[in-house]
Structure 1
């Protein structure tokens, strides 16, 4: 495979999953990790990715408030945000994760909504801070620089003490057979704790992430109440998910 083709595939994986691991890319592209590291260096020097421990992330994921950054599939994520707003009820309590799709949701929330948001991402908290009728409560802990959310035992302990109406999380990988998956062990533990603290779970995902699987399992598809994509619920691409989860 030519270097230009590898770079294109690496960028697609980074844009799609926000973070990629060099070991996973090595297997996917059937090249050595040394080759991937050289590819990373060229893409980093070009300003296209950011290096993190064991892999790389997209600049738009790491700095979502930078208006100059090119957020992947922004229009699709804005459609998802508008759909998700229908789940936000007056005086409800909402537990919310981080990521570029959820940033779009935070920006789309109406100034008239009166609700309480428990937030794990500093960036999401900032995006919600100018909504006059929202009570925004940050759940603190060690900041994961890869995902820009708080992680660790202190976060899990805080989550165990709250019960919310709705949990809103993003997706790294989602499939009928493997359910919700991720590549980061600490993030997986946080998402599991979030789900235990909520009556309902909504997963936000662009359709490109469907039918993909990451290395670590979060939950089966049946543990999710709502799946929200940019596609119409009756789109043929979503047919296999019907019956296991409510499509919005």
Structure 2
């Protein structure tokens, strides 16, 4: 059963979520030792082989939001909040069918996969996951048998636990705060350096990163924060749920970063 559509304009606007409640975890991500270990093309490829699962399950979070703020069922009926509908659909448009330099379109996940292929990263396990899912296999079984890194599997499971909660505040908070990819300058610099040295292999990933910064950092993050503030309103239970979810998602990202760092450092 599809979740009932939400009418955000019916919620009060006179409060704000305490974004500082998880600032300590964001700082741990910004300063994580992983970034210092990604110092070569080989290390970047290994990072991508883990991180691609974050890029993939992001789309399921987004689809879950779309189900809650827009009408995706037949027969179609207008949802209560046209403004929220517009904002969510704008994000879906950007993430599912962004413009490429040659005039074609692709989702950010497909762009990431192409970046991995050009860079020489192993895309075998993520393709096996998609094949299993297309064949109708359950997600849990598909994750366990596709050959994904165990840390990436744990990360995806955490994401789908939040989605399966069915709680709109939790899902929107996960999308808003848990997917604020913290990209420090040193990471951007290594991508630029790799692209300058080997444009054929790395220019696509550089483009992905540029689009990520343009959309997620500059446009999507403010939209999602505004939606979340309005959804929570002055309800202390919703505010607390949003803060808990933010911490849970950031903690999951730190655990994944720890695992990748251990892999690169071994």
- Give the TM-score, by structure 1 length: 0.29
Larger Rg: 2
More helix by percentage: 2
* Structure number with higher relative contact order (C-alpha < 8 Å, ≥ 6 residues apart): 2
- Give the TM-score, by structure 2 length: 0.28
